[in-house]
Chains A and B, each alone.
Chain A
């Protein structure tokens, strides 16, 4: 069989709900709940003599990979982006897509976890790694404290999301600049983060194990959403010193969360925000909520609202 010179990758964006252990006294940290959603990144990777890309991040990741495995090079063309710097995993998804495509082009047998470690992505929270591999609703078990950034947190629960469950995702524009600036110090913030009281990590673990996962298995959206909202808002309180004392990152997001809660039991901020989302099971409901959020954002600094399903398959490769 002739080796191909070009590979296309379509890989899903993801949303975080939060981390259930920020204490670490049991030997692991974080442990994360999240979803893959059907808003794909699409790239094309072509074998080349050196590294080329019109996208700065893509150039960086391709260079890192080429250098790590001593390859010739590749051209990366980003054909469709995931919204950047808003907590939907653009960089992790891009890194894994480029690494996986290069591994295929150059015949390297690497796991997605190995690629993630090479790319230095997904070692603190691995929702992006498992979203890339499998999609769906994902719970991972955190990293061993002694192996921080040397391992990828393992998957401990995953399930396909029902086809009729729809995410309504709002990305407010106003908070973005501030969040981008704060994320420049993300590593520092995470390294110096105060410890969560044990009791809070206990309670969060319980919400995941006894409320969120069982409701998912039973397909009970009302109870699932209640669990997610309780979990996410409790975490908002933990992170509030980085959010000016607020549970959510910005007053506009606080208001958007309230709008979502009128139609969905699930209203969560992903990661540092500003992206927030609800989940509803009727198309009419989803469209109505989308419209309400759009109307609100138009009057409050602008932004985008998307309506999408979960992605239950992970990344897809093609090309010749």
Chain B
């Protein structure tokens, strides 16, 4: 028997609390998009065998998961598709959870995506990627509990189905890749606390604009809140990334998208991936305009994505 897993990718929409004096740090907003994807197939094998893409990292996740669960048998994993790494689409967490989930199905390991993510060390900063894998949609995590370090799992506080008629135009401009792993942790560590007033503004934009706009399918309100949150958070990261956005091309893409009238725009995580929010009937035009814009500069990839509202697909194949 083989187990097949296909994951969504993750767009990070912003951080909630970069001050932390209420006992919570970060807290993230994110959305699951239908592609790019990690797809892999896992079966029981006599040897630990990795084929396809990103074999080293896949092997590391597989060994760690087998070992933690005291499983002595081995698996063969074929990674057929991956999400580009270190561009801000959450590739590492999706691959880790795809590996863990496929192995858990083969050996009947019980556990939630949150628990699997904790085993594989994917919960240090954010619970967004895990929630995207588990359920899809628009997700909000609560951030790290700074008063009780024994609480290792970052809980999900909100999950809403993202409107089906909305699209993201996603661009990965050719630019320096974003921060990851140790560099990311160290950059977070160096941030000065955001003033309470700015954190409060982000929270109110989230509670009064971003979240109510989802059930009401109000793209203007959602988009304007998104853009403003992105600006506040981007400015806070100026010290770590050299500007409001991680690279000049990323910043230019965002400004360009806002000029052509997307409802909201921002950078995903440390970039360089950026995105604009549009309605489905406007997506093709926005996409081609953005392609032309990038072609005139350093180039890059542009695609249209819609939300994934169900999370990863997991299937047993005979």
Q: Chain A: residues with CB nearer than 8 A to chain B?
A: 20-21, 26-28, 31, 139, 141-142, 153-157, 199, 201-203, 205-211, 213-214, 217-218, 220, 223
* Nearest CB on A from B70, distance (A): 29
B155 and A208 form a contact (CB under 8 A):
no
> 8 closest Cβ contacts across the A-B interface?
A202-B200, A141-B212, A214-B142, A205-B204, A206-B203, A205-B203, A217-B155, A156-B211
Task: Answer yes or no: B298 CB below 8 A from chain A CBs.
Answer: no
Binds A, one of B19-27, B170-178, B249-257: B19-27
Which A residues touch B204, using CB under 8 A?
20-21, 26, 201-202, 205-206
Which A residues touch B221, using CB under 8 A?
27
A27-B221, A31-B207 known; 20 other A-B pairs, CB under 8 Å?
A26-B204, A26-B205, A26-B208, A27-B209, A141-B211, A153-B212, A154-B215, A156-B158, A156-B207, A205-B200, A205-B203, A205-B208, A208-B203, A209-B157, A209-B206, A210-B142, A211-B23, A214-B27, A217-B142, A218-B151
A199 and B23 form a contact (CB under 8 A):
no
- CB nearest to A157 among chain B residues: B158
Give Cα A214 to B142, complex, Å: 5
Using A27-B221, A203-B196 as known contacts, say yes or no to A210 and B209 having CB atoms under 8 A apart: no
Which B residues touch A205, using CB under 8 A?
200, 203-204, 206-208
- A214: contacting residue among B155, B197, B205, CB under 8 A: B155
Which A residues touch B148, using CB under 8 A?
220
* Nearest CB on B from A291, distance (A): 32
Give Cα A142 to B212, complex, Å: 8
Give Cα A29 to B197, complex, Å: 19
A214 and B157 form a contact (CB under 8 A):
yes
Give Cα A205 to B225, complex, Å: 14
Task: Answer yes or no: B260 CB below 8 A from chain A CBs.
Answer: no
Task: Answer yes or no: B201 CB below 8 A from chain A CBs.
Answer: yes
Q: Interface residues of B, CB < 8 Å — how many?
A: 34
Task: Answer yes or no: B106 CB below 8 A from chain A CBs.
Answer: no
Which B residues touch A203, using CB under 8 A?
196, 200
7 A-B interface contacts by CB (under 8 A): A26-B204, A26-B208, A205-B207, A210-B17, A210-B23, A210-B24, A217-B155
- A154: contacting residue among B143, B200, B212, CB under 8 A: B212
A202 and B216 form a contact (CB under 8 A):
no
Using A209-B16, A217-B155, A217-B157 as known contacts, say yes or no to A21 and B207 having CB atoms under 8 A apart: yes
Task: Answer yes or no: B93 CB below 8 A from chain A CBs.
Answer: no
A218 and B212 form a contact (CB under 8 A):
no
**Count of A-B contacts with CB under 8 A?**
104
Which A residues touch B304, using CB under 8 A?
none
Q: Chain B: residues with CB nearer than 8 A to chain A?
A: 16-17, 22-24, 27, 142-143, 145, 147-148, 151, 155-158, 160, 196-197, 199-201, 203-209, 211-212, 215-216, 221
* Nearest CB on A from B159, distance (A): 10
* Nearest CB on B from A176, distance (A): 33
- CB nearest to B148 among chain A residues: A220
* Nearest CB on B from A230, distance (A): 9
Using A154-B216, A217-B142 as known contacts, say yes or no to A199 and B197 having CB atoms under 8 A apart: yes
Using A156-B158, A218-B151 as known contacts, say yes or no to A210 and B22 having CB atoms under 8 A apart: yes
Give Cα A288 to B226, complex, Å: 48
Using A154-B216, A199-B197, A205-B200 as known contacts, say yes or no to A211 and B208 having CB atoms under 8 A apart: no
Which B residues touch A157, using CB under 8 A?
157-158
Which A residues touch B215, using CB under 8 A?
154-156
- B207: contacting residue among A199, A209, A217, A220, CB under 8 A: A209
Give Cα A214 to B23, complex, Å: 10
- CB nearest to A214 among chain B residues: B142
Give Cα A27 to B221, complex, Å: 9
Give Cα A203 to B145, complex, Å: 19
- CB nearest to A28 among chain B residues: B208
Using A156-B158, A157-B157 as known contacts, say yes or no to A202 and B203 having CB atoms under 8 A apart: yes
